[in-house]
């Protein structure tokens, strides 16, 4: 980078917050994308750590003028390479924007972009409130969670990130700062621009602050493990639960062989001795009475739809242990995974999707274990490595899985987003006009294409 | 209109669905905007009633080519003139797109634009499901409800229209048809364009079909009337309720003098003999036990925050009677109203807003009764007519109310939108860049500015 520009950036954020030392930079150029499909980061990266919105705006004005690519960076927990600087430029870490404030009377959090999910959960809890969503890794940061419209397992009751966002502060690639929405439950004043930034994966603007709706603390929670010998029955139970009026925090689907292997790897034991297929349901209620009433009704619904005896974990320890095994499936499979998908279909079509994925797995003689957020129709197939796999074969396989998801009325990504590695597949099911509009939107917000270039748009 | 173009339109939709007969047209050119501030409709309006998306696309292609303004029309229940054809052109009624289908397994409705809210509520109920939102007038149509991101009183638990929309079919002003989202609970594949159309008030595209999330039927509902002698205490109770973990369907605020006058006008009686200020709370629970538990807890919270004895209506009839009085306040005040506002502030600031509105009312020697959706921070001040009112004075008054709402962190419209009559006020609190982006977005979607021109954008 030009020395003059470098010194201007140092002037904006302070010399100690700018570095190109490879030993430091290397911790900021990759995310959690599976290694076999992870894009390579570029070699000449300048790491910049601004302190606030003003500094970000100044850096972006300069970068825009000089046409220097800027890659915003949060916790680096993404799975599709959206945070990887694929060309030379600036990685702009939001970590110093780490202030959070809880407004108890309005049940909202005002969090800067660099606040971690862990911190948000803790601060909400301290105020007697609750942030329901739990998109996995708690080191994810608010800016990234919003930019990627994160989901996770606890989306059944109150939704994904988009549903909690009431206001955003965003710095545009051209340096202007937008303040959108507010501590508002309703706001219909003009086009809702905030919605465009949610899920844009850092390509339209840098989110610096979010106003997030919180919920009352869930005082009474329990986790059920519902065993089935027959998979069809497990899936048929899900709409019955939802139609009954019970809306759990989460309804997950797992299979014995996968949870047992994962539990073993952790030195733990899967609690259910019977059944091959399991629903895992987290319920949260505001009183002990209503918790037990819901548990009883749930058990009734499940057993009358073919389940074996449900296991109820109502102590914190039992629950944590079950949830630990569930959440470690990903970690257990990761080293063997070429890629982790998040295909999503109408909830009633999940089993069909699983069957079609099995067929594809058989066809190629590979293993594609699945698990996922079944009430959201959101499945996580892991494409496992086999001897002699090739990038070509892998692409063929995921292409087929995507086609099946789309045939079933679904989408190629329910939560992980498009990032760097899913762009081409958008062309499979988005119309030419929709892609054109995405391109035009990008041009409108980022005329010099400096912000997270080469991401999202095919 | 040019005869050739007229005959081309007739060819597209069929001669019987095109008319410029003033007797018929007059039913399609106004909405519910209060008379004193209602814009005048243009004189040369062609009413067109297409049967389906294809015909709409063909009409728009032609209109775009010939630069003929097109005004999409739903139920005509808006309050800001968004549906009024202010220049000569085509009013495109969506009434023939009236098909609805309920997908019970996915808990969703697939409704064409012309389906009324009444029909949606009925069809959901028939399937044992429930559409929670209730933005007032049930003759509103789905297309309009989505285009205006309708709210209403029942938004506390599961939100406004935006929160229910999972998929949209939209015809662009240039005639292309976009199919966005689907029966999907999670979808992160590219920019979420559907979000832009929600709340765009028919200026960016014509919504022809929506996929709407439904909820389980609320089996046990009750309405509480909580009387207070002290207004401060009424407002302080609201966050206490929400923090306690009880999330009602609705929390409304009304005052004795207003509900009594309204009840009298209906030949009814307001049920509470004591108290000057009232919270009206609708709770819905899935079992009788949990309903009574919630009612008991609610009564405790209210009385320990200064309320008089709460009245509980748990029969359908008692509830309907209270809700009838509440919903008729609008109708009762309407003939005397110059305008009905929907200023919205952070929920904890509602009482401050009311006090500031009172101060303005005193200053001008007028009456501005208020009521509203207090848990949403959403207030409905009615600017009542007095002798010698003038458009200038009215504009001064609402300008002051808007300024106070904005000072309190609020917005000029929580539900009604901008339409034709609020445009100039957007300039009060939106940045120049935000307005510029709105204009550019409009240009991107509607390059010839044919679709509902002169609305929303200042």
Question: What pLDDT score does A8 carry?
Answer: 98
Q: What is the pLDDT of residues A157-168, one digit of tens each?
A: 999 999 999 999
Distance to chain A for B431, nearest Cα, Å = 7
Could you tell me the pLDDT band of residue A136, with boundaries at 50, 70 and 90? confident
What is the per-residue DSSP string for B176-218? -EEEEE-S-S---SS--HHHHHTTSTTSS-EEEEEEEE-EE--
| pLDDT value at residue A274 | 96
Are the Cβ atoms of B188 and A417 closer than 8 angstroms? yes
Question: Which one of B152, B185, B428, B452 would you mutate to disrupt binding with A, by most A Cβ within 10 Å of its Cβ?
Answer: B185
Q: What is the pLDDT of residue A316?
A: 86
The minimum CA-CA distance between A93 and chain B, rounded to whole Å, is 23
| pLDDT of amino acid B386 | 87
Residue among A178, A183, A409 minimizing CB distance to B182 = A409
Reported as a single tens digit per residue, the pLDDT across B65-80 is 999 999 999 999 999 9
Q: Where residue A286 falls among pLDDT bands split at 50, 70, 90? A: confident
Q: Please judge whether A289 and B293 are an interchain contact, meaning their C-beta atoms are less than 8 angstroms apart.
A: yes
Kindly state the percentage of chain A with pLDDT values over 90. Answer: 95
Per-residue pLDDT tens over the stretch B231-246: 999 999 999 999 999 9
| Chain A residues with beta carbon closer than 8 angstroms to that of B430 | 189-190
- pLDDT by residue (tens digit) across A407-447? 999 999 999 999 999 999 999 899 999 999 999 999 999 99
Confidence at residue A418, expressed as pLDDT on a 0 to 100 scale: 98
Q: Does domain B3-93 have CATH number 3.30.43.10?
A: yes
Which parts of chain B have pLDDT scores under 70?
Answer: none
Contacts of A198 in chain B (CB under 8 A): 192, 195
Where does the pLDDT of residue A388 fall: very low under 50, low under 70, confident under 90, or very high at 90 and above?
A: confident
Distance between CA atoms of B2 and A37, rounded to whole angstroms? Answer: 59
Query: Which residues fall within 8 angstroms of residue A27, CB to CB, at 6 or more apart?
Result: none
Cβ neighbours for B450, distance < 8 A, ≥ 6 positions apart: B60, B63, B64, B67, B68, B69, B70, B89, B173
Residue A268 has pLDDT above 90, yes or no: yes
What is the C-alpha separation between A439 and B377, in angstroms, rounded?
37
Is 0.95 surpassed by the pTM of this model?
Answer: yes
CB A90 within 8 A of CB A424: no
Whether A220-327 shares its CATH topology with A333-418 is answered yes
CATH 3.90.180.10 fits A100-216, yes or no: no
pLDDT computed for residue A176 by the predictor: 98
- Whether residue B217 and residue A245 make contact (CB cut-off 8 A), yes or no, is yes
Q: What is the pLDDT of residue B322?
A: 94
Residues B333-418, CATH architecture: 2-Layer Sandwich (3.30)
Q: What distance in Å separates residue B153's CA from the closest CA in chain A?
A: 11
- Structural domain boundaries of chain A? 3-93, 100-216, 220-327, 333-418
Q: Which of B151, B239, B286 sits opposite A246 (nearest CB)?
A: B286
Q: How many CA atoms lie within 13 A of A284 on its CB side?
A: 20
pLDDT (0 to 100) of residue B286: 85
**CB-CB neighbors (< 8 A) of B412 in chain A:** 189
The CATH architecture annotation of domain B220-327 reads: 2-Layer Sandwich (3.30)
Name the percent of chain A lying above pLDDT 70: 100
Buried b (16+ CB within 10 A) or exposed e, A408-417: bbbbbbbbbb
């Amino acid at each position: 980078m030009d020395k003059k520009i470098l010194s201007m950036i140092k002037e904006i954020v302070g010399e100690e917050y700018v570095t190109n030392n490879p030993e430091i930079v290397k911790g900021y150029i990759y995310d959690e994308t599976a290694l076999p499909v992870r894009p390579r980061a570029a070699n000449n990266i300048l790491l910049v750590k601004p302190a606030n919105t003003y500094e970000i705006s100044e850096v972006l004005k300069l970068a825009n003028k000089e046409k220097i690519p800027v890659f915003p960076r949060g916790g680096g927990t993404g799975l599709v390479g959206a945070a990887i600087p694929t060309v030379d430029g600036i990685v702009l870490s939001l970590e110093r924007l780490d202030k959070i404030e809880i407004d108890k009377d309005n049940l909202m959090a005002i969090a800067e972009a660099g606040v971690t999910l862990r911190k948000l959960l803790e601060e909400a809890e301290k105020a007697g409130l609750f942030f329901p969503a739990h998109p996995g890794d708690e080191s994810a940061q608010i800016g990234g969670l919003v930019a990627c419209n994160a989901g996770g397992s606890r989306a059944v009751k109150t939704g994904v990130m988009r549903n909690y966002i009431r206001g955003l502060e965003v710095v545009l690639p051209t340096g202007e700062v937008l303040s959108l929405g507010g501590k508002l439950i309703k706001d219909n004043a003009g086009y809702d621009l905030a919605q465009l930034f949610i899920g844009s994966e850092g390509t339209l603007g840098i989110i610096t602050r979010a106003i997030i709706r919180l919920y009352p603390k869930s005082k009474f929670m329990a986790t059920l493990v519902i065993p089935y010998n027959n998979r069809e029955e497990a899936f048929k139970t899900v709409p019955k639960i939802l139609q009954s009026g019970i809306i759990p925090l989460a309804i997950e689907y797992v299979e014995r062989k996968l949870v047992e292997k994962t539990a073993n790897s952790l030195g733990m034991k899967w609690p259910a001795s019977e059944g091959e297929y399991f629903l895992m349901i987290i319920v949260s209620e505001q009183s002990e009475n209503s918790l037990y009433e819901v548990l009883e009704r749930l058990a009734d619904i499940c057993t009358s739809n073919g389940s074996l005896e449900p296991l109820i974990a109502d102590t914190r320890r039992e629950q944590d242990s079950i949830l630990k095994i569930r959440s470690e499936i990903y970690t257990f499979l990761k080293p063997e995974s070429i890629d982790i998908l998040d295909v999503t279909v109408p909830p009633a079509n999940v089993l069909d999707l699983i069957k079609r994925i099995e067929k594809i797995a058989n066809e190629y003689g590979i293993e594609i274990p699945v698990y996922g957020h079944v009430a959201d129709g959101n499945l996580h197939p892991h494409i496992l490595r086999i001897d002699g796999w090739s990038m070509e074969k892998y692409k063929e396989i995921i292409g087929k899985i995507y086609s099946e998801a789309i045939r079933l009325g679904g989408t190629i990504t329910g939560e992980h987003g498009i990032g760097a590695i899913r762009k081409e597949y958008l062309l499979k099911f988005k119309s030419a006009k929709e892609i054109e509009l995405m391109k035009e939107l990008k041009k409108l917000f980022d005329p010099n294409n400096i912000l997270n270039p080469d991401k999202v748009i095919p």
